[in-house]
Every structure is written in C-alpha cells, then in structure tokens.
Amino acid sequence: MKKCFVFLLSLFSLSLAFSQATTKSTTANQGIARPKLVVGIVIDQMRWDYLYRYYDVFKNSGGFKRFLNDGFSCDNTFIPYTPTVTAAGHTCVYTGSVPAIHGIMGNEWYDNIHHATVYCADDSTVQVVGSGNTAAGAMSPRNLLTTTITDELRIASNFQSKVIGVALKDRGSILPAGHAANAAYWYDTKSGNFISSSYYMNVLPEWVQQFNGKKIVDSLYQLNWTPGLPKEMYDQYCTADDKPYEGKPFGTSNSAMPYDLTKYAGQDYSKIFVTPHGNTLTAEMAKAAVVNERLGKGSATDFLTISFSSPDAIGHTFGPNSWEQLDDYAKLDETLGKLFDFLDASVGKGQWTVFLTADHAVAHVPGFMKENKLPGGTINEGGLMKYMNQTLKDKFGKDNIITGIFNYQVYLNHNLIDASDLNEKDITRWIINYVGNLDAVSNVFALDELGTITMNATMKERFANGYLPSRSGDIQIVLKPGYIDGGTAGTTHGLWYPYDSHIPLLWYGWGIRKGKTDTETYMTDISATLAALLHIQRPSGCIGQVIEDVFK
C-alpha cells in the first residue's frame, strides 16, 4: 500500500504542476490554423451501443459525456471490410484504407509469396529495445503497404511534427503511429515495462526508463479489482456475475468480483491486461509522453495515438453483458475524463483535438445467446482444419493440403498441390461442399470467384475490401449471425455483421462543432476528415470521404 500511496501522490503533484502551466496559441503554418495536438484514441473492442446503453452510468466529469454533449458523434459508423480484427481496424483508422489496399489482412495471415505465417507487426531485421524479451520487440510497421495520416502529418510539416504511439498491444501502438513515427511504445508482459524496437531507437529515452522504474503495474495490483458501482447497477445492466460461459483468468477460486490482484505483483505482469487498471497504465504512459516529449509545445501540430487494449481482453473473457465489462467502461470513462483535464492543463483548453473510435466491436457470448433463446453458436477452426486435412489425405494421398485457416479463410498448400499434380478444383470443391453443410456456416465460396457469385451487395463489398491475393486465403467461410470461432467460454469478433462492425466515432476539441449525424459513415472516413481538418494530404491508400458535418 505504501507504493500505491507514493504513486497516487506523484500523480497529484504532476496534475498540480500542469494546472500552473501556460498554453500556447493555435499552431499556424503559413497562416493556416491548426490545433497544437491531435489525440487519436482507439478503444480495442467497443460496441457502439455502449454509448447509450451505459449513458446514465457515465459521469458528467468523464470522457464519454464530454464527447456526446460537447463534441460530435457519428452514430452510424461501420467497418467496411472483413475481418473485423485489431490489426486491420487500427490500420484502417489511420490509413483511411482497407486490407485489400493497405495489406494488413488481420492480426496474422499466411503469405502466399514467401510461404510463411506472418504476424502483422513482425520484423526480423529489428531488435527489442528495453527488454530481454527478444520476441516482444522484433516489431515495426514494415508490413503496412500505405502511409498513415500520422505519416502525412510528418511529411507536411517537413518532419517537425512529433508522432508518438502508446498501447499495451504492440499492434495497437505501431500501426497507428505509422512508418515515420518518432516512437511507438508497447507493453512487455514479461518485465512489466513499456518497450520499443530498434526501428525507432537504439535505447529507451531516459523518461521511459524512469517511468518503467516506478513499476506502476505493481501499485495498481495493490488496489485489486473491486466494483466501482452500486450492486443494483450491475443487476440493472448485466447478467448475474460468475456465469459458466465466462472465462476464469484469475483462477476458479476467484471467479467473481472483487478480484485479488496483489498476488501478481512482481510475479505475473500479464494479468493487468484483463483489468481496468490496464487502461490506467496506458493513460499514465500517454501523459508521460505528452510531458516529456513536449507534445503540443512546438511550432507544428503533434499527434499522439493511444489504444486502450484492456477492454478487448475483458470483453473476450467475460463478454459484453458481464459485470466486468460494465465496470471496465465505467472506470474507462473516468480515465478519459482525467486525461482530457490533463490535456486542458498541459496543452491548453481549445488547443487540442481528439477523436475516439474502436477497431471492432464484439459478438455476445454464445452461452448467453443460448441462455436467452437467441441464435448463435460456435465452430472450432483448429478442429475443422485437422479433420479436413486428414480427410483430404485419405482422398488425395498427401498431408497438409490446407496450410492454415486465418480470418475465416482457408489457405491451400499450392506448392504441394502443384508438385504432386493434384487437381486443385476437386480439392476446392470438396472443401466447399463439406464446410457448406456445417450447422454454423451460412455460405462458403472460392475467393477468386467473388466477383461472379450471387450475394448481398453489402456482404460482397465487405469481402472484396478484405481480399489481397498475395496475403489472402483461397476459400472464404461465412458464419451464420451469432456464431463465432471459439469454445465454451468467452466470445470474439471478426465478421461483417453489425454487432462486430458498428463502432463509435466521436470528435471533440479544436475545430469540432457540437452535434451528431445519423448518416452512415465508415472507419475509412476518419483519416480523410483529419486530413481536411489539418489541411494536409490524405494517406496514400485512403478511400474515405470527409465527414463535413464534424466541423462545418
């Protein structure tokens, strides 16, 4: 508790110092007015309906009501592609583009040219900086094929603008910050530190080393995870706590709130991910970046990208109707409110612009759906692939005809098929016939025939926007609404359906007017709108449209 008190005291001292700081006037290059700082916030896994479902839970001093009451909300914003997953979502927000163009097909995919599985941020040419965990730091944005809005800001300012990315997940920091970022920092679960890679630097800045030295994660563990709302509010908004279809990240003996986290201090730094404290840790790192990098203090507009990763971990584990996710969003609301107060004090009221969106939403837990007589269920991609490979071996005499199933796409082993003189059409036909008869599947088709098959136009567009031949699979599996790839506990996302693709899009601050629109907008429109607001070029693959009502 002593460490916790020291940590909280230091935060109070910092806030007092910032409240006394003076602010600079709006940045103006060649007579063009711009904000001093742009802050891009991506909530990793946020359904749009949380904004209004939890409206009475959010505080007037929090972040969400500041957006909804004093900013601008695009209430019908959708993701215009599949798969709706983290890496593709963060990339789309900052490129204004889709996987078919920017190349980030998912969190991972199979590369058909190099014949290897690729993680979205993999880069074997760089080394970890700030940790002995080698694998955690061999990361960069090199798999991204286009520029980002943050890259375009750097170019437009002749690289005078600073761009910093912060997130617990590497992909949530690296991809938004772009190719030309000054730095991207992400969390290492082995050391409990924020780290980077040699793509950006050779050694962590002194301020990051000092931040890591405080071991804030241990102070947060000492607070445990206790409910922040009255019990009747959880009863009003959630199913009962400790459902059998919820995950048990803290063990079966501690399967309901409150959760004892003190035992993880100095022992297990990964558990912070699946608690609201992960949001607090992220926000404190972001604040430290603003102060120590003097963001918003120069002659050019700076850009801070923040991704809050914990809602995704909590949502996957417990689901959207859980006590845990309600508690997470109530506390995230407070965290955002404090962040905005900090920016008012450090950068200046009216001197910064912020937007908030999500990389994807999420499906309800299949167990919850069944419990309430709603359609839904599961499919096991790993088991499916094993069965199909064994059956194909029996039919065609070769092992591993399928190299993988990623993002609901089946990848064929073309080298093997060609070398063995197998009939690829026969193999494809068998897979389509077999998978198409599964209870969880509504459709299955060869991706190279997408242009000719009969399908709803919206669906066809979503699949086309997610198709890049060199990085995509051969056969697309389309699950029925409410079905996921998973087991008996927890949930996931990835499909085109509104529960996965309808996301919040909120704007506030410099240049933003009060209001809302119900006109359908898209994730790809965010970078186009930022480019118009900042009077800079759009990213190189941007296909979005400017949402003029945001600042008209």
Q: What is the CATH number of the domain that holds 52?
A: 3.40.720.10
- pLDDT higher than 90, residue 12: no
Residue 224 and residue 355 in one domain: yes
Residue 31 and residue 177 in one domain: yes
Residue 104 and residue 208 in one domain: yes
Residue 446 β-bridge partners: 475
- pLDDT higher than 80, residue 18: no
Pick from 485, 507, 522: which residue ends a domain? 485
Task: Give the C-alpha separation, 441 to 415, whole Å.
Answer: 28
Number of separate domains in the chain? 2
Residue 528 and residue 474 in one domain: no
Q: Is residue 492 part of a domain?
A: no
Pick from 485, 509, 532: which residue ends a domain? 485
Give the pLDDT of residue 552.
74
Q: Is residue 73 part of a domain?
A: yes
Give the pLDDT of residue 22.
36
The pLDDT of 313-328, averaged and rounded, is 98
Q: Is residue 370 part of a domain?
A: no
Residue 402 and residue 546 in one domain: no
- Quote the tokens at residue 385: 């692939």
DSSP letters spanning 5-69: HHHHHHHHHHHHHHHT---PPPEEETTEEE-SEEEEEEESS--TTHHHHTTTTS-TTSHHHHHHH
Q: Is residue 537 part of a domain?
A: yes
Task: Give the C-alpha separation, 44 to 286, whole Å.
Answer: 16
Residue 432 and residue 520 in one domain: no
In order of 44, 202, 234, 484, 493, the CA distances from 500 in angstroms are: 12, 39, 24, 11, 6
- pLDDT higher than 90, residue 117: yes
CATH number at residue 424: 3.30.1360.150
Pick from 464, 485, 506: which residue ends a domain? 485
% of the chain exceeding 90 in pLDDT: 94
Residue 165 and residue 228 in one domain: yes
Residue 166 and residue 37 in one domain: yes
pTM score, whole prediction: 0.94
Using one digit for the tens of pLDDT, what is the confidence trace for 405-422? 999 999 999 999 999 999
Give the pLDDT of residue 206.
98
Query: Residue 19: which domain range?
Result: 2-364+497-550
- pLDDT higher than 60, residue 4: no
Q: Place 445 in a pLDDT band, splitting at 50, 70 and 90.
A: very high
The DSSP 8-state label assigned to residue 392 in this structure reads H
Residue 213 and residue 250 in one domain: yes
Task: Give the C-alpha separation, 411 to 403, whole Å.
Answer: 6
Q: Is residue 122 part of a domain?
A: yes
Q: What values do phi and psi take at 33, rounded to 5?
A: -75, 135
Residue 302 and residue 412 in one domain: no
Q: Place 245 in a pLDDT band, splitting at 50, 70 and 90.
A: very high
User: Residues with catalytic annotation?
Assistant: 86
Q: Is residue 490 part of a domain?
A: no
Residue 382 and residue 429 in one domain: yes
Q: Which of 69, 68, 88, 70 is nearest to 79 (CA)?
A: 88
Is it true that the peptide bond before 249 is cis, omega within 30 degrees of 0? Answer: no
Using one digit for the tens of pLDDT, what is the confidence trace for 481-524? 999 999 999 999 999 999 999 999 999 999 999 999 999 999 99
Q: Is residue 263 part of a domain?
A: yes
